[in-house]
Structure 1
Amino acid sequence: MSQHSNTTQSFFQGVGRNFDKAAKFTKFSSGILEQIKACNSILRVRFPVKIGDNVEVIEAYRVQHSHHKLPCKGGIRFSMEVDQDEVMALASLMTYKCAIVNVPFGGAKGGVKIDTKKYTEYELEKITRRYTTELVKKNFIGPGTDVPAPDYGTSAREMSWIVDTYTTLNPNDINAQACVTGKPVSQGGVRGRTEATGLGVFFGVREACKNEEDMQRLGLTTGVEGKKVIVQGLGNVGYHAAKYFEEGGSILVGLIEYEGAIYNESGLDLEEVVAHRKSTGSILNFPGATNIEDPSKGLEYPCDILIPAALESVINGFNADRIQAQIIGEAANGPLTPDADEIFNRKGKLVIPDIYLNAGGVTVSYFEWLKNLSHVRYGRLEKRFSENMFAEILNIIESMTNQKVSKLERKIILRGPDEVDLVYSGLEDTMIGSYQEIHQIWKNTEGVEDLRTAAFICAINKVGESYKELGIFP
């Protein structure tokens, strides 16, 4: 619980507080709202695993927050911070997240309370497979019931163990591959899944920066080009977000990791910092950068955009006043406490909420799930057709104009979409459309003071409609 210990509320209560704030702006009866808010099913298991010569009893969870749409969907984290409250909070955020980006899943989350550094790969595999067996026994995993994914402390490796265990226990399930997403591509994964959340963060912030009125109010120009960015966390999400901001023309002025932070107002080269960390074991003492010993202080340095992509509650009532960024993009789950939100609202800063901004992962997970159910790789059916059609059109244009295009131009024009092109384009379309939807609610609903409340309203409306159609609520 240490991540949320500096707040008076539990993480799940904090999510509930945001929910209640938004629920006032919706038209649903208290019964429907109560149902949306509640966690439908909670599985808590303890199972023995032989580690070396000893037997260890492992504590693990899987929470299905909402069954308004099936399957349920959400990552599995391996961390000593895992407890029931955290898993419930993250599962509920998944429900709202899926609704906002129009992905037809209910929210779920899993957690195994272990310190991954203490185990060998073989031991982690034993724990993962045993956890999967528990989920199968209790019907908490399956292509149509509950589809996990990687999260903090897990990766494609763990997902491959899960899909293998599930397939072994369900040998006749033709869709067994779809029981989990975030798998290696060789096992039915989708290209583009690894960078999906970080890329989604970039697409979301870029879309926010296009709004002239909002940028003017913050005293900024439109677009991400030239904007100074600080990223906290160089894990999968933070690294890819930083990479796309750098490629998009932003200046990466600060990077924060658990060992400390570095800052250079004229910009840091991401790949060089990563290489430096690989060789020295730390981002500190990077040539040309200022060392910041206390990582939390790194959040307070001057920048335009701050991307917390690490842990919960890192920006709270104690330090929010000192944050200099005008735009805070929540790449992690719950990096701001409700107190921090209130301070930022008072100051007129723009907070792009986690339940929208880090939904890139679940969006691409949805594409992977569809791929597994359809048993065909994206692009396989149309790539060659598109290339042949483009060639026909190009030949007609060349013969009509008596002009030849260069080899390079021809190559660019004739390229049909690969799987990764289609995944990126689907993700970009989702992030743009969803941002505009919540932005509209924010601007057009009297009394809604921030994007987070607007995002929750958007989610409650969509989930509420599903329940209303069930006919069990007045």
Structure 2
Amino acid sequence: MAQETEGKQFLNSVHRYFDQAAQHTDVKPGILAQIKVCNSLYKVNFPVEHEGKVTVYEGIRAQHSHHKLPTKGGIRFSTHVDEDEVVALATLMTFKCALVDVPFGGAKGGVKINPRTTPVEVLEKVTRRYASELIQKNLIGPGMDVPAPDYGTGAREMAWIADTYHVFKYGETSAMGCVTGKPVGQGGIRGRTEATGLGIYYGLREALHDTEILKQLAIDPGLRGKRMIVQGLGNVGYHAAHFCQKDGVLITGIAEREGGIFNKDGLDVEAVFEHRQESGSILNYPGAQNVENSKDLLTWECDILLPAALENQIDITNAPHVKAKIVAEGANGPVTQDAEQILLQKGIFMLPDLYLNAGGVTVSYFEWLKNLSNVRFGRMGRRAEEASLKRIVNLIEDTTGKSIGEKERNLIISGADEITLVRSGLEDTMILAYHEMREIMRRKPGIRDLRTAAFYSATEKIAISYQSLGIFP
């Protein structure tokens, strides 16, 4: 029997998580079967010419669920992209969106290419050709399927896709909503870059004020003073570490492709990031101990372990040696299902990817809304809000005969701009979703972990959507 690929293992793991949660619901088997299956998968091979040489690239786009439209999910550029991995990630997106009440179905895409070694001009040709293939099949659009950045892609690639879409759909007023994660100057939204990392911070902060969990772990409330090891200093890991550090977390270890570094007294995330920019590596950072095999850091002593790199980083081989009290999944699927059972048996508290890294799609939703309305958040009401607050402050000062002070006055009367509104919406989303999962755990004695609670919550919501469509009685 052929050995399963990592992608297949990942997909099977996602399906098992779903099955585990589904047994606690009263949803009919037929609806559960529809929720589980991937609705559509498109694969394409296309040629790109560069300097007289033609190379054929493989592209994939999976739309897991159409219970809500549009579907939503990132596009990753990697040589490891395969069908099962893309379908697994699209499946996770469906449940993630449902969990945090973002009205999208799940999707995902990928192109087999190495973005680090491929010239920029080739990357642009590949991105535009991949987008063209999807557009011609009506697989991209603000009401159909809205891609976003993922591993190996960013704002630049999203801008290329948006521009390509404009060529095909010239004059479409909502065209900017065909893709999210764009540069701010090209229809993007302030706060999108750090959204996933900031969402991780909000999720961790909420968990560390949960008295039941604190008692279970025998730790003090709040993030201040907690020791954290971070795997991955990319966009997600960097911003999560940045916001946690600002709230008093000690980042004692950082693991990357080239190796890891450790300092029990804490590392300055900003300084480490700059060191890597200058030297090309986090190794040999002043005052830190080099760790040759970066995965070894996953088993070192800490309060919070944040794997924010790739899938299957914690498996049955290293899970028994994990010493963290909390494992916070910043990446998609960094802990295998068998490994999770080991961690739970050890009393480790798991914050699942389905919830914890939902900040990216949440703010993508805000960007999509902005593109559909064609107006920046805060533009219509900010000055009116400031004028109203100014009148209140003036009334207080006139009535009391005391001045509040210029600095405090400016803070009070400042109206909400786009980034303030985006972060407020993200914070509210993460808080509400956390307490929804915890309430499910209290109502359903058979559900003892947050991941099962998250899948249960999402499944119930998706089932209601299918029933409201009249597809099922």
Fold conserved between structures, TM > 0.5:
yes
Give 2:345's aligned amino acid: R
Corresponding residue number in structure 1 for 2:200: 201
| Aligned mates of 1:124, 1:349 — CA distance in 2 | 42
C-alpha offsets along residues 367-419 of structure 1, whole Å, 9 cap, x if unaligned?
Answer: 00000001110000111011111111111111111111222112111211110
Structure 1: unaligned runs, 5 residues or longer = none
Quote how far apart the aligned CAs of 1:314 are.
0.1
C-alpha offsets along residues 310-357 of structure 1, whole Å, 9 cap, x if unaligned?
Answer: 000000111001111110110100000001110011112110000111
Corresponding residue number in structure 2 for 1:412: 411
Corresponding residue number in structure 1 for 2:299: 300
Residue 392 of structure 1 aligns to a residue whose secondary structure is: helix
Quote how far apart the aligned CAs of 1:5 are.
7.0
Does residue 160 of structure 1 match 2:159?
A: yes
8 Å CA contact 2:7–2:83 kept in 1: the answer is: no
Give 2:49's aligned amino acid: K
Does residue 218 of structure 1 match 2:217?
A: yes
Corresponding residue number in structure 2 for 1:229: 228
Corresponding residue number in structure 2 for 1:100: 99
Corresponding residue number in structure 1 for 2:430: 431
Structure 2: unaligned runs, 5 residues or longer = none
| Aligned mates of 1:371, 1:226 — CA distance in 2 | 38
Give 1:24's aligned amino acid: Q
Quote how far apart the aligned CAs of 1:8 are.
10
Show the 5 A alignment for 1:277-356. 277-356=276-355
Residue 457 of structure 2 aligns to a residue whose secondary structure is: helix
8 Å CA contact 1:345–1:449 kept in 2: the answer is: no
| Aligned mates of 1:210, 1:443 — CA distance in 2 | 17
| Aligned mates of 1:354, 1:195 — CA distance in 2 | 16
Q: Alpha carbon RMSD of aligned pairs, Å?
A: 1.2
Corresponding residue number in structure 2 for 1:173: 172
8 Å CA contact 1:76–1:111 kept in 2: the answer is: yes
Give 1:193's aligned amino acid: R
C-alpha offsets along residues 115-167 of structure 1, whole Å, 9 cap, x if unaligned?
Answer: 11232111111100000000011111000000000000000000000000001
| Aligned mates of 1:311, 1:6 — CA distance in 2 | 15
Show the 5 A alignment for 1:393-412. 393-412=392-411
| Aligned mates of 1:411, 1:394 — CA distance in 2 | 10
8 Å CA contact 1:305–1:326 kept in 2: the answer is: yes
Give 2:240's aligned amino acid: A
8 Å CA contact 2:260–2:297 kept in 1: the answer is: yes
Corresponding residue number in structure 1 for 2:57: 58
| Aligned mates of 2:76, 2:443 — CA distance in 1 | 38
Kindly report structure 1 stretches of 4+ aligned residues shifted beyond 4 Å.
4-9
| Aligned mates of 1:323, 1:9 — CA distance in 2 | 25
Quote how far apart the aligned CAs of 1:9 are.
5.5
8 Å CA contact 1:7–1:337 kept in 2: the answer is: no
Show the 5 A alignment for 1:2-151. 10-151=9-150
Q: Which piece of structure 1 moves more, 263-272 or 277-286? A: 277-286
C-alpha offsets along residues 9-42 of structure 1, whole Å, 9 cap, x if unaligned?
Answer: 6211110011111110011111100100010010
Does residue 274 of structure 1 match 2:273?
A: yes
Residue 248 of structure 2 aligns to a residue whose secondary structure is: coil
Quote how far apart the aligned CAs of 1:470 are.
2.4
Corresponding residue number in structure 2 for 1:390: 389
Quote how far apart the aligned CAs of 1:440 are.
1.0
Quote how far apart the aligned CAs of 1:273 are.
0.9
8 Å CA contact 1:233–1:309 kept in 2: the answer is: yes
C-alpha offsets along residues 180-235 of structure 1, whole Å, 9 cap, x if unaligned?
Answer: 00001111100000000000011011111111111111111111111111111000
Quote how far apart the aligned CAs of 1:286 are.
1.4
Residue 265 of structure 1 aligns to a residue whose secondary structure is: coil
